[in-house]
Each structure stands twice: as C-alpha cells, then as structure tokens.
C-alpha cells in the first residue's frame, strides 16, 4: 500500500523525485504480486523482465502500465509529468 502520509508530506515539500520513487515502487510491487498469482515462482530482477512477464501473463492494461513504467525509467522527461503518469498508473492498478 502507498504510504499516503509520507507521500503527501513529500508532495507538499515539492520533493517530486522522492514521490516518484515511492510510486514506482508501489506500481512495481502490485505488478509483481499480480504476476505471482499466475506464476508463483516469479522473482523480480529487472524492469525489462517484469515487462516481459506482464505481456505474457497479465492483461493488456497491465502490460501497458509495465511498458510505461519501463519507459519512464529511461526517458528524460519533466518530473511533474512522470509523477502524474505514475499516479494514474497506480490508481488504475488498484481499480482493476
């Protein structure tokens, strides 16, 4: 679960990098848990591997989220956009 209080605190402090790190971790954890429901032997190693497993054993929505998570980790984009994207991804995953 997202540590809401901590997240709000850093958001108010405008420490977006830290908020991004928290959200990334949460999105990643949800995807890992969802894969492990299908394949209990799955162990997280890298985002590249995570993406591949999402494509092969989860829904298209989760696949798209995994790809976006991967893309956000390598692209040089505005922090605020990255944060908004991750929030949408997190909300989508908990509503799936």
Partner 1 sequence: MSFEKRNYYLNHFFHNDVIEAQEYLNLIESEKSSQLSHFFEKISDYIIKLQEENPNISHLEIQRKLDEDAKDLLETITKSSLIASDYMYYKTFQYLQDHPDIYSTLANQLKDNTLPTLHLFDSLETYRKNAVLYNEKNYHVLQDQVPLNFHLQNILDSNSPNTKKLNIAKVYIASTYPQEVRKTIFDAFQVKLLGKKTALSLYEKQFHDNLKKELITSITSIIQELDRYQILPEYIEDFNEQMTSMHLEDFGYTNKSAVQNLYQLFSERYLNAQSIETLMALNMFWMDKFSKEVQTLTESFYAIKDLHLIPQILAEHTKGETYALSENMAYRILLKMYTLSPRIQYFLDTVQDKIQTEKIEEIEGVTKDENNDRLLHFSANPLKQLLKQEYSQDYLDYFSKALPESQNILEDDIDNYFPLQRLTYTTNLLNNWLQYVMLSNLENNKDIINGGIVVHDNNTIDTIIQNKFAELAIDEHLTFPVKVKIPLTFMKEHLSAYKGNAILPVYEGIADFSDPYDKALHTSVVAPFNKKQEKLLKTISDDPNHPFLSHLRFLQNPKKVPNHLQTTYIDPIGKEKKTFERKYIDLYTGEIFIKQNDTFILWNPSFIR
What residues make contact with partner 1 under the rule CB under 8 A? 17, 21, 24, 45-49, 51-52, 55-56, 61, 63-65, 67-68, 71, 73-78, 80-81, 84, 88-89, 91-92, 95-96
23, HSE (Cβ side, Cα atoms, 13 Å): 28
9 or 81: CB nearest partner 1: 81
With beta carbons less than 8 A apart as the criterion, state whether 22 and 7 touch.
Answer: yes
Q: Tally helices (H) and strands (E) across the chain.
A: 5, 0
Two tokens at 43? 């162990």
Task: Give the SS3 label for residue 93.
Answer: helix
In the complex with partner 1, which residue's Cβ is closer, 38 or 73?
Answer: 73
> In angstroms, what is the minimal distance from the CB of 59 to partner 1?
10
| Residues with Cβ within 8 Å of residue 61, at least 6 apart in sequence | 92, 96
Looking at the Cβ atoms of 36 and 55, the one nearer to partner 1 is: 55
Least separation in angstroms between residue 49's CB and partner 1 is 8
Q: Which is nearer to partner 1, 18 or 36 (CB)?
A: 18
């Amino acid at each position: 679960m997202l540590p809401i209080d901590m997240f709000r605190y850093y958001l108010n402090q405008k420490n977006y990098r830290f908020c991004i790190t928290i959200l990334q971790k949460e999105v990643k954890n949800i995807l890992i848990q969802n894969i492990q429901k299908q394949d209990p032997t799955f162990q997280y190693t890298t985002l590249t591997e995570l993406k591949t497993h999402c494509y092969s054993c989860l829904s298209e929505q989760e696949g798209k989220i995994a790809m976006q998570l991967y893309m956000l980790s390598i692209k040089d984009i505005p922090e605020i956009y990255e944060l908004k994207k991750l929030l949408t991804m997190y909300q989508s995953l908990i509503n799936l």
